[in-house]
Structure formats: C-alpha cells, structure tokens
Chain A
Amino acid sequence: MADVSNEEILKGLGEIVEEVAGVAADDVSLEKSFVDDLDIDSLSMVEIAVQAEDKFGVKIPDDELANLKTVNDAVEYVSKNG
C-alpha cells in the first residue's frame, strides 16, 4: 500500500479498534498485543479484521489473522499486502 504510510494505517486501525472494542484509539500503539494488552477477544478480532479489509482494501485470511499478535504485526501486514 504505497500511498498510505504506516502512521496512517496505525491511525485507521486505532479507529476500528475503538469502534469494535471500546479501546481508546490513542492506546492502540505498535508494541501492544491485541489479546494481552488491549483485552480483545477472538470474536472482536474477527470484526476488526473484516473492517480492516474494507478500510485498507486487503485480504486477511484466517491463518494470517492468527499471526497478527501485536498492532505492529497488523500494520506491517496491511502495509505489505495492501
């Protein structure tokens, strides 16, 4: 996704996480783990992935989703595959 910076992806991801899980977008920083730090369950991760697919025009198959442990993992994935 050459025309979108990692900063913009992080901001967009933060908005999705806030909408779905109620975590303040500012708290969604690169080093955070979705499960351990942001307290997001597997059901919410599915919702976040679907919204991220729409927002960034990427495909996130289930086996890839399982590897996205931290916010940084997700930003990198979107950046590479968008």
Chain B
Amino acid sequence: MSTDIVITGLGATTPVGGDVDSTWAALLEGRSGVRTIEADWAERFDLPVRIAAPLAVEPTEVLPRVQARRMDRCEQIAIIVARQAWADAGFEMPTDEAHTVDPDRLGVAIGTGVGGPVTLLNQDDILETSGLRKVSPLTVPMLMPNGPAAHVGIDLKARAGVHSPASACASGAEGLAAGWRMIASGEADVVVAGGAEACIHQITVAGFAQSRTLSTRNDEPARASRPFDVDRDGFVLGEGAGALVLERGDHARARGARIYGRLAGVGITSDAYHITGNHPEGIGQINAISKALRTGELSTSDIGHLNAHATSTVVGDVGEAAAVRKAIGDHVVVTAPKGSLGHLVGGAGAVESIVTVLSLYNGVIPATSNLEQLDPKVELDVVAGEPRKVDLRAAVNDSFGFGGHNVALSFTTV
C-alpha cells in the first residue's frame, strides 16, 4: 500500500465561476451563485421554490458544438473540469501516438448523483410527440450515470479503470475516495477523480420541494443558502463539477509537478438507518471522519480545519456540527461553501474538496456566506464575515448523501 497520494491538478465549473480561479475568488469575496429560476415551469406548476444555482458559464460556450450535442449537460461539465485539471497538472492532451502518462496506469473516478435524467425526460417527450424516428440514438449513453466518467476516460485515454460512484450528495467525495483507493492498491499511478451534477429541472426541484428540503427564501436568492445560520430554511439546488488529479507522490515528484497537497486518507461509512434522514447520534458521520484520520495517519489535534457538508437544512447542519465535535473536537475552524455555491449534489464533494485543498495551500479559509447569526446549537468556530488567514497542516472535508452515505476525506500540506 502506498498512501503517499498527492494532488497535482484542479478543475471546476460552478455557479460562481467557470474555472477554479474564478470560483476561489468568488468564495473569498462571499459572492452567491443563487438566482431566480428563469424557466417558466416554476411559475406554471406553482412550485414553492423559485430559486436555484445554475452554472456561471454555459458548457456549450466551452466545448465544440458537435462534442456538446453528443453529451448530456452532466457529461459536458465532467469533460470540462477533467480537461482543466489535466492541463493544470502539466499534462498534454493525449493523442493516438503520444500520452504523457502510461494509459494502463491512468484511471478515472467521477461520481454523480443522478447522471442524465434531463436527457431521459427530453427523449421521452420526443417519443411521445414525434415517435421513434426522432429519438436520439445517443439517448442511453447520454442518460447513463457512468457517462460522465466514461467520457472522461475516453477523452484522456485512461485504461486502468473508470469508476462512477453514485451516493447522492456524497458522490463527488466518493469519486475521490475511489481514486485514492486505486492508487493505494497499486492499480494506478494517476487518477482523475471528482464528481458532476447538472439536474436543475422541474421534476428535481418539485421532488426536492416535496421532501421539504429546499429553501423557499425566493425573494432573496443571494441570501437563501445560509449554512449554520439560525434563520436557514433549506438548501438551494445547484449544478457544477469538480475534478482533481490524484497522483502517487513519487510519480509526481519525479516529473517535477507542482503539488497542492496530499489526499492523506479516506473514510466511508453507511448509516443503515433511514433513506433520507441521518442517524440521530451521527454515528456514521463520526466514524467516517475518524476513519479518514486513521487511514491518513492523523490525530484529531492535527486537524485545523473542517470544510463542512452543511447544506443549510435545519436538521442536517446541527447534526453534522455535533458529529464534528465528537469526531475531531471544537478546535477546528469550520467553513461551509454551500453558502455561496448552493448544493451541487454529486459535484459538491469534489468542488468542496478543491476549496479545502486551496485553503490548505493558500493558508486562508473562505467565510461561510450568509452566516449572520450562528445557530446556538452549532458549537463550532465557523468562519463568518471575512476569510480567515490560518496556518494549517491538515484538514477534513465531509460529505453525506441520501441513502445514509458518509464520506470523509483528510488532506494535508506537503
């Protein structure tokens, strides 16, 4: 087992920016990506939720037209962030003749919560209105949840295995965990890992609204997502993707790569309790964090920072805060990027891991947007107002998903 696994490339497209630099800058400024839904369906179905966090940059503005038309939006953004991360790591795009890494030692692990349901629904509409002839032959490859990972694998000519974890809102973090395991087990030298989601649609908003998990602060979109704030009332559905190049440490150093930090350890647990609700004592969350420290050979006192899942729901944020106190202690400095980003579902764990890595790398933690009055039940030091400069050695990012999935990742500086 080699667990010296480093991060050499980052890529993201989010509601606040079309790349990592613009997203990071927006987080430091505390800008919000939440907008009023412009499509007519929110009003037509009289949905209680009229806000969402769409991408800041349309993927069709980035990808060549023909490539874009063959992919679901979720696949488009997976390709975009993987290419960003790949270039950021200093690699050239592979050709049939040349590849800058051994393709048999290159893997992909890109998770998604739901993949391409919008394609599924659109093509079903086409079948109903225009008949079989008009149904796209690309329907199945566009809707399948392994599509984002598979497209990235083809694009980068990765032959060591392509994984597509699906664990709802923990999918992006599980993508990173899967990538870590591929390198730790010796199956790969380099893995492009992360998550993607693009499912803002009348049925997803309606479905989440019916489960009473979304914010209805429709008249103040920018203030709607407010993790840990006493006035939070639910999450805001967003779309986005993140990818990280994970690399065996000696492989990265041999080629003189810039190293952002280490993905030191991973912890995955399952609640075995309820399909949407968290375990009331947070056992699964606590154990996931503890496991991420153990596999990373870290102690609780090493961890200076926690990048929280905190979606801005009434119940979830308090439960997580209690679990973090138990698993790590109250000394960690906490932030919750969803205040700016909204909830990127399968993209969340990956994008928020990038934020965690940059906090370690730059020694500054972005503030939690819209945190005006800390819920007294959240007994943690949560950064509010301005970013906080800190000297950090290690941090944890945690993600939890419907189904009782808990994924924690521990990161260190190098």
A residues at B contact (CB < 8 Å): 20-22, 42-44, 46-47, 50, 53
A43 to B65, Cβ gap below 8 A?
A: no
A22–B137 CA distance with the chains assembled, in angstroms = 17
Q: Is the interface of B mostly helix, strand, loop or mixed?
A: helix
Q: Mark B116-144, 1 if CB is under 8 A from A, else 0.
A: 00000000000000000110111001000
Instruction: Pick 18 A–B contacts, CB within 8 A, sort by A.
Output: A20-B66, A21-B66, A22-B64, A22-B65, A22-B66, A22-B67, A42-B137, A43-B137, A43-B138, A43-B141, A44-B137, A46-B137, A47-B136, A47-B137, A47-B138, A50-B133, A50-B134, A53-B133
A36 CB → nearest B CB, Å: 15
Residues of A within 8 Å of B138, CB to CB, are 43, 47
Number of interface residues of B (CB under 8 A): 10
Give min CB distance, A10 to chain B, whole Å: 20
B65 — which chain A residues lie within 8 A by C-beta?
22
Residue of B nearest to A42 (CB): B137
Tell me the total A-B contact number using a CB cutoff of 8 A: 18
**When A and B form their complex, which 10 residue pairs have the shortest distance between CB atoms, in order from nearest?**
A22-B66, A46-B137, A43-B137, A50-B133, A43-B138, A21-B66, A47-B137, A22-B65, A22-B64, A47-B136
Kindly report which residue of chain B lies nearest to residue A53, judged by CB atoms. B133
Smallest Cβ distance from A20 to chain B, in angstroms? 8
List B contacts of A20 (CB < 8 A): 66
- In the complex, the chain B residue whose C-beta lies closest to that of A43 is B137
Q: In the complex the two chains form, what is the Cα distance from A50 to B130 in whole Å? A: 12
Q: For the complex formed, measure the closest distance between the CB of A32 and the CB atoms of chain B, giving whole angstroms.
A: 17
Q: Which residue of A lies closest to B141 (CB)?
A: A43
Chain A residues near B64: list those with CB within 8 A: 22
* CB-CB nearest in chain B for A22: B66
CB-nearest residue of chain B to A54: B133
A54 to B141, CA, bound (A): 25
Cβ < 8 Å to A, chain B residues 137-159: 137-138, 141
Distance between Cα atoms of A7 and B405 in the complex (Å): 61
Q: Chain A residue with minimal CB distance to B135?
A: A50
Cα A22 to Cα B138 in complex, Å, equals 16
CA distance A42 to B137 in the complex (A): 9
Distance (whole angstroms) from the CB of A72 to the closest CB of chain B: 23
> How far is B67's CA from A8's CA once the two chains are assembled, in angstroms?
27
Question: Most chain-B CB neighbours within 10 Å: which of A21, A50, A53?
Answer: A50
Give A21 to B67 CA distance when docked, in angstroms: 9
Nearest chain B CB to A39's CB is how many angstroms away?
11
Closest-CB distance, B72 to chain A (whole angstroms): 14
Supply 7 further A-B pairs (C-beta < 8 A) apart from A20-B66, A47-B136, A47-B137: A21-B66, A22-B67, A43-B137, A43-B138, A44-B137, A46-B137, A47-B138
Cα separation A44 to B133 with both chains bound (whole Å): 13
Please report the C-alpha to C-alpha distance between residue A20 and residue B323 in the assembled complex, in whole angstroms.
52
CB closest residue in chain A, given B140: A43
Nearest neighbor of B66 in chain A, beta-carbon distance: A22
B390 to chain A, nearest CB (A): 49
Chain B residues positioned under 8 Å from A22 (CB to CB): 64-67
The distance in angstroms between the C-alpha atoms of A46 and B65, with both chains bound, is 19
- Report the minimal beta-carbon distance from A64 to chain B, rounded to whole angstroms: 15
Shortest distance from the beta carbon of B143 to any chain A beta carbon, whole Å: 14
Inter-chain CA distance A21–B137, complex, in Å, is 13
Nearest chain A CB to B186 CB, angstrom units: 35
Query: A41 to chain B: closest CB distance in Å?
Result: 10
How far does the alpha carbon of A50 sit from the alpha carbon of B66 in the complex, in Å? 17
> In the complex, what distance in Å separates the CA atom of A21 from the CA atom of B136?
14
Instruction: Report the minimal beta-carbon distance from B373 to chain A, rounded to whole angstroms.
Output: 54
Which residues of chain B from 17 to 75 have any CB-CB distance to chain A below 8 Å in the complex? 64-67
In the complex, what residues of A have CB within 8 A of residue B133's CB? 50, 53
**Chain B residue nearest in CB terms to A20:** B66
Closest to B65 in A: A22
Residue in chain A with minimal CB distance to B133:
A50
